[in-house]
Structure 1
Amino acid sequence: MQAPVVFLNTGAERETGRKAQISNVTAAKAVADIIRTCLGPKAMLKMLLDPVGGIVLTNDGHAILREIQVTHPAAKSMIELSRAQDEEVGDGTTSVIILAGEILAQTVPYLERNIHPVILIRALKQALKDALEVIHEVSRQVDPNDEEVVLKIVASSIGTKYVARWSRHMCKLALDAVRTVMRDDGVRKEIDIKRYVRVEKIAGDDIEKSEVLAGVILNKDITHPKMRRRIENPRILLLDCPLEYKKGESQTNIEITGEDEWARILQIEEEQIKQMCERIASFKPDLVLTEKGVSDLAQHYLLKHNITALRRVRKTDNNRIARCTGATIVNRVEDIKESDIGLRCGLFKVDLIGDEYYSFITECKDPGACTILLRGPSKDILNEVDRNLQDAMAVARNVMFEPSLSPGGGATEMAVSVRLASKAKEIEGADQYPYRAVADALEVIPRVLVQNCGGNPLKSVTSLRAKHAEGLTHYGIDGDTGKIVDMDSFGVWEPEAVKAQTLKTAIESACLLLRVDDIVSARRKDGGAEGGPGGMPAGMPAGMPGGMPGGMPGGMPGME
């Protein structure tokens, strides 16, 4: 396989030095402009068309950027920012892109004045350090056990989303789910939402009928129609092996010469399955779930022992059931022990919802995992509610981990901006200008909030800056009206972790893109191994010697 050939072009395709940096900033700004209107409670929606003709309507920054296709490497790195922010704190995906784009845009004049990128990066890093201190100063500690306070914080994260009209109910769902999966042994907290919270979306009924179930829902029916469909306090056995006849592991050939031999083979198969089922029945389980298949014969024997079976359960669901019921997943029937049986489940039932059967393993004691049953009028609405609910759960999780809140509505950003602007005056030399650029860039959040609700950005941002200059750091923008309000009494707070992570991600990415001074395209030559004269890649000037000076092989990559 021929190695890729790197072509260093001196023509228009290659971007170097300041041209590359300006190009990166332009691309980053273009991505930020796409989702600029998606910030705040009056955010506009984006209509996303997928390749097969489906439509998604959302104002979730991460969901939008995940779907769009870009070719510019700087634009791709901006989209990665949104993903990193979503993975880390689950909220602020729109803010981080807008902020990063604005910080880069503010550095353009200094690049054009020939200020070296290293000086810009040094000033940005210093501004980040000072900004994090200011965020911590304007934040306040809260009691994570105070349900009303936590619900208000979660409400601020979904106040800009589609589900805002059912805000109270959705916040309660998110908080209940997070508290269910939280494990605190006094040394460290564990809140694994992705692994232990499952959202089951079932179209039909009202959104208000959504609920958190202390257990697991499976989109499955029992394997045999005569098995029990409702069991109270069931003994549950979880398997990761098939309840079928065990075939030869390698290619097995059996030669049969008589009818008796065929009957004997069937008898051996039946005896083996009967033995497996009797081994299971000796532990008196009421419910058996396996990740593999269950043969008809095994169903027959399990039914004789009044055992209900479910087959082809997903690995992730099996892990959740194990956590909820206290059962252990067993890999071989021969290895089952009494301690592997799950006893913490209160109810197993199978219900028909719409056209499909669902198995409920619920009312578990101290479950540690849960399922959010989402109801709604259509699949598209359920998908949007699910996206919003993930944000709400991420915010609730952040508050449980770090119960420290910063004022919302652009108040934190403006407080940092005013403080950095005053500190910039104390800095001597060229570092002062990019440091000041961060202060100016942070004003983009309150400005966009005012723009998105149809207010006067110049007037509102100037008034807000004056309030913060007086030391009123809790004043921010009411995203519905564009007026300046006290966030303390208005009740819009966000986790400090989200604000700090947004600023860290935005400035670090700006530093990364400013450090790029050359964009080189590495591509494989067309025609595979076929090269020019002397084994040189095609496209090299003809007449080159077969061997390079100094004994170098003639097949070296060429430079155009």
Structure 2
Amino acid sequence: MGNQPLIVLSDDSQRTSGKDAQSMNISAGKAVAEAVRTTLGPKGMDKMLVDSTGNVVVTNDGVTLLTEMEIDHPAANMIVEVSETQEEEVGDGTTTAVVVAGELLKRAEELLEQDIHATTLAQGYRQASTKANEVLDEIAIDVDASDDEVLQQIAATAMTGKGAENAKDLLSSLVVQAVQTVADEDGIDTDNVKVEKVVGGSIDNSELVEGVIVDKERVNDNMPYFSEDANIALIDGALEIKETEIDAEVNVTDPDQLQQFLEQEEAQLKEMVDKLAAAGADVVFVDGGIDDMAQHYLAEEGIIAVRRVKSSDMSRLARSTGARAVNTVDDLTEDHLGFAGSVAQKDIAGDQRIFVEDVEDAKAVTLILRGGTEHVIDEVDRAIEDSLGVVRTTIKDGQVVAGGGAPEVELSLALRDYADSVGGREQLAIEAFADALEVIPRTLAENAGLDPIDSLVELRSAHDGGDVAAGLDAYTGATIDMGEEGVYEPRRVKGQAIESATEAAVMLLRIDDVIAAGELKGGGSDDGDDEEMPPGGGMGGMGGMGGMGGMGGAM
């Protein structure tokens, strides 16, 4: 074939290789980190995201930001996955994980320019991550699962900076109470804590209901509003006449036949209600519909009925009241019934809801969140989700570390000492890892309007002197003992953030060839003339990062 080039890719394919590919991926990772960096800490700023239909989300929650931004770039999406993993595993620390990942890539870029091989960097980063988790184990503080004060401090730390500061004492107390209530021998499933958002009133009006609130009304106005010491039945079906499975035709030749047909239907419905009453049910929650005639008979029996209840609510009702769901009324016996001291239809901010309260062993609870506007409640809801996650993690693991950038500074110092013992080119990677961790206290200082260099020097000095819990007070700028201040985070949140950030950075650094089936948004070109992506919102095709309506300007 002589010197004729061999074409193995389609004309539409785009290939970026070598340093161009590494540079493109690193730029993508840094841009994602830069987008969320200003949201970190108690003085972090909010972002406004506007989608193509005009819907607005105002938040500084890392995982919410990154998922709402609809990022297209494949390398950037790997960083987004870091935040999603962090959220699923431990419930908080998403911004920390992404910012650390971005800083690891930035430090790696400097070493790559010095001809340090990506494999060497990857090895050094992995060693540093392992060592960092060992140091975290050494500095972690043991916490008793029944220590309400520390648990409330952890919950308050998680929601600081998310619009809930004014009521964080109340909310953190409610969160701890909720998690402790739903805990059982199988662990803690925070899905059993339902958050009911109600627009109206202030955040201070929020409350915890030990039981379930169903966002429905009783099906008939003639039914009682209230039932005391109520036996509760759960039907995973409908209180209606079953339709035939095949198309059927009924020929009626005179009015008497029609009347008999209708009477037979009514008798069947009356029989269903009689069975409910015979079993002793005072309240019935139905997954499907309830026939109008059945509603009439239920009202006559004084039974409160609620239809088309969500399966998640049915599960919570079963868990909370002890009721066992049945498929049809024919299967119902007294043993299937649950119990609640009070079932009532109440008004909250103009909406009617069914309250199931005063249960013997509430393994499902409802947190009513109040707030002046929908945007305020949504952001407080995200803060509550983070708090539930960290309290659950703390109770499960029983270990915390101080907040305010204290662990990162301690880890940074320990890793620099460790690097000296490693030697070789990996030593440079471990030192770069140590520098990268300091991005957290530095960013906390920047977001609080403080001088990051002065703050970092003070923190290093305190940690050199043996003060492991020394962190940055974002409100005063002073270096204080975070343990005495009650600023704690679960040890696993920090460990998971470092592990996830390391894995994402290493994965991106090891890519030296990007082959795209079509045009790679935000990437380079065949001639290697890649434009570096601007920080924050201009990655061109990070899709969401400049493309969600007016979002680019909000970055």
Number of the residue aligned with 2:279 = 283
CA distance in 1, matches of 2:385, 2:407: 24
Number of the residue aligned with 2:30 = 29
Give how far 1:487 is off. 1.8
Unaligned runs of 5+ in 2: 1-6, 520-555
CA distance in 2, matches of 1:363, 1:49: 43
After the TM superposition, which residues 152-551 of structure 1 pair with which residues of structure 2 at under 5 Å, given as runs? 152-184=153-185, 189-194=186-191, 196-343=192-339, 345-522=340-517
Other structure's SS at 1:234 match:
strand
Give how far 1:12 is off. 9.8
- Could you say if the C-alpha distance between residues 254 and 389 of structure 1 is closer, same or farther in structure 2, counting changes exceeding 3 Å? same
CA distance in 2, matches of 1:11, 1:297: 65
Number of the residue aligned with 1:546 = none
Number of the residue aligned with 1:66 = 67
Q: Residue 407 of structure 1 contacts residue 474 of structure 1 at CA under 8 Å; is this kept in 2?
A: yes
- Could you say if the C-alpha distance between residues 514 and 224 of structure 1 is closer, same or farther in structure 2, counting changes exceeding 3 Å? same
Q: Residue 217 of structure 2 contacts residue 306 of structure 2 at CA under 8 Å; is this kept in 1?
A: yes
CA distance in 2, matches of 1:286, 1:223: 14
- Could you say if the C-alpha distance between residues 270 and 10 of structure 1 is closer, same or farther in structure 2, counting changes exceeding 3 Å? closer
Other structure's SS at 1:458 match:
helix
Give how far 1:255 is off. 3.1
Other structure's SS at 1:190 match:
coil
Query: Which deviations, in whole Å up to 9, do the C-alpha atoms of 1:183-234 show, x marking residues without a partner?
Result: 13xxxx511012x111111111222121110111122221111111111110
Could you tell me which amino acid in structure 2 is paired with residue 117 of structure 1? Answer: A
**Greater displacement, 55-64 / 208-217:** 55-64
User: Which protein shows a greater Rg?
Assistant: 1
- Could you say if the C-alpha distance between residues 517 and 253 of structure 1 is closer, same or farther in structure 2, counting changes exceeding 3 Å? farther
Give how far 1:93 is off. 0.8
The size of the alignment, in residue pairs, is 513
Instruction: Give the percent of matched residue pairs that are identical in Structure 1 and Structure 2.
Output: 39
Number of the residue aligned with 1:137 = 138
CA distance in 1, matches of 2:500, 2:483: 27
Q: Residue 235 of structure 2 contacts residue 287 of structure 2 at CA under 8 Å; is this kept in 1?
A: yes
Unaligned runs of 5+ in 1: 1-5, 525-560
TM-score by length of 2: 0.89
**Greater displacement, 515-524 / 171-180:** 515-524
Q: Residue 235 of structure 1 contacts residue 342 of structure 1 at CA under 8 Å; is this kept in 2?
A: yes
Give how far 1:7 is off. 7.2
CA distance in 2, matches of 1:490, 1:219: 40
Give how far 1:517 is off. 1.9
Number of the residue aligned with 2:527 = none
Other structure's SS at 2:421 match:
coil
CA distance in 1, matches of 2:436, 2:500: 14
Query: Which deviations, in whole Å up to 9, do the C-alpha atoms of 1:136-173 show, x marking residues without a partner?
Result: 11111122212112212222212222101111001011
Give how far 1:307 is off. 1.4
CA distance in 2, matches of 1:352, 1:428: 69
Query: Which deviations, in whole Å up to 9, do the C-alpha atoms of 1:26-53 show, x marking residues without a partner?
Result: 1000010111111111111111112221
Q: Residue 232 of structure 2 contacts residue 281 of structure 2 at CA under 8 Å; is this kept in 1?
A: yes
- Could you say if the C-alpha distance between residues 252 and 202 of structure 1 is closer, same or farther in structure 2, counting changes exceeding 3 Å? same
Give how far 1:133 is off. 0.6
Query: Which deviations, in whole Å up to 9, do the C-alpha atoms of 1:463-506 show, x marking residues without a partner?
Result: 32233233322211112233222223232111101111111111
Q: What is the alpha-carbon root mean square deviation over aligned residues?
A: 1.8
- Could you say if the C-alpha distance between residues 156 and 251 of structure 1 is closer, same or farther in structure 2, counting changes exceeding 3 Å? same
Number of the residue aligned with 1:531 = none
CA distance in 2, matches of 1:224, 1:71: 50
CA distance in 1, matches of 2:490, 2:24: 35
Number of the residue aligned with 1:84 = 85
Number of the residue aligned with 1:547 = none
- Could you say if the C-alpha distance between residues 523 and 264 of structure 1 is closer, same or farther in structure 2, counting changes exceeding 3 Å? farther
Query: Which deviations, in whole Å up to 9, do the C-alpha atoms of 1:387-439 show, x marking residues without a partner?
Result: 11111111111111112111111110111111111111122222111111111
Q: Residue 449 of structure 1 contacts residue 482 of structure 1 at CA under 8 Å; is this kept in 2?
A: no
Other structure's SS at 2:144 match:
coil
Which one scores higher on RCO, CA 8 angstroms, separation ≥ 6?
Answer: 2
- Could you say if the C-alpha distance between residues 364 and 415 of structure 1 is closer, same or farther in structure 2, counting changes exceeding 3 Å? same
Q: Residue 420 of structure 1 contacts residue 439 of structure 1 at CA under 8 Å; is this kept in 2?
A: yes
Query: Which deviations, in whole Å up to 9, do the C-alpha atoms of 1:41-83 show, x marking residues without a partner?
Result: 1111111112221222221111111211322111111112111
**Greater displacement, 173-182 / 462-471:** 462-471
After the TM superposition, which segments of 4 or more aligned residues of structure 1 sit over 4 Å from their partners?
A: 9-12
CA distance in 2, matches of 1:263, 1:59: 64
**Greater displacement, 309-318 / 104-113:** 104-113
Give how far 1:523 is off. 5.5
Other structure's SS at 1:351 match:
strand
CA distance in 2, matches of 1:239, 1:229: 20
Other structure's SS at 2:288 match:
coil
CA distance in 1, matches of 2:246, 2:335: 34
